[in-house]
């Protein structure tokens, strides 16, 4: 049985993440979408509980996909799940630089292989950072994130949104 882990911050989960999940679910018998528990990178609009809840709703039609949280090294989590593969998405050359370094380091540590899936052109401009920026300025997120995520982001940002003119 081929098991893979798709790790990420998913803050927030986007349609770009969803495309990678759907494609990876076809390639592997079992796929763990593993959400980084702590998020020191930036103040995030979505809590871990919210990120898990939305991802679970998003993957509910896919019966070989499970959403879990993890902390520490992804290679340790993958080993615990007996997963021989990591999945990551590639949008551009910057992603490639970062992902190729991570993939080599991870393989060096435990032998885990990283499968890099190239984003479809219609999703390659979507990043969680961009979405947080758009949402913080009160613009709609249609076409970037699933509807349930859009509503939750606006609820959580409401007190900070610039007043409407
Ligand atoms: P991390 O902080 O681990 O990079 P992210 O949630 O930002 O977490 O990204 C998780 C994975 O999803 C990364 O491999 C990233 O390249 C990929 N990814 C993010 N957005 C997209 C997208 N629009 N299309 C394809 N892959 C994406």
d(CA 99, CA 39): 19
* pTM of the model as a whole: 0.92
**Ligand 1 within 6 A of CB of 54:** no
**Ligand 1 within 6 A of CB of 146:** no
Low-confidence residues of the chain, pLDDT below 50? none
- For atom 24 of ligand 1, the residue with the nearest CA is 16
Active site residue 69: no
d(CA 5, CA 27): 12
Task: Output the pLDDT for position 42.
Answer: 61
Task: Output the pLDDT for position 153.
Answer: 83
Active site residue 41: yes
Instruction: Please state the φ and ψ torsions of residue 159, each to the nearest 5 degrees.
Output: -60, -25
């Amino acid at each position: 049985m081929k098991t893979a882990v798709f790790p990420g911050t998913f803050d927030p989960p986007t349609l770009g993440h969803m495309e990678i999940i759907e494609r990876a679910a076809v390639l592997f018998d079992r796929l763990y979408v593993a959400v980084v528990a702590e998020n020191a990178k930036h103040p995030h609009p979505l809590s871990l509980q919210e990120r898990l809840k939305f991802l679970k709703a998003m993957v509910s039609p896919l019966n070989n996909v499970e959403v879990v949280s993890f902390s520490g090294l992804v290679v340790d989590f993958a080993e615990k799940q007996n997963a021989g593969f990591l999945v990551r998405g590639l949008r551009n050359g910057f992603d490639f630089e970062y992902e190729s370094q991570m993939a080599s380091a991870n393989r060096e540590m435990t032998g885990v292989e990283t499968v890099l899936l190239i984003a479809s052109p219609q999703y390659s401009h979507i990043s969680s950072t961009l979405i947080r920026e758009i949402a913080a300025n009160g613009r709609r997120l249609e076409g970037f994130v699933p509807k349930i995520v859009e509503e939750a982001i606006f609820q959580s940002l409401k007190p900070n949104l610039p007043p409407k003119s």
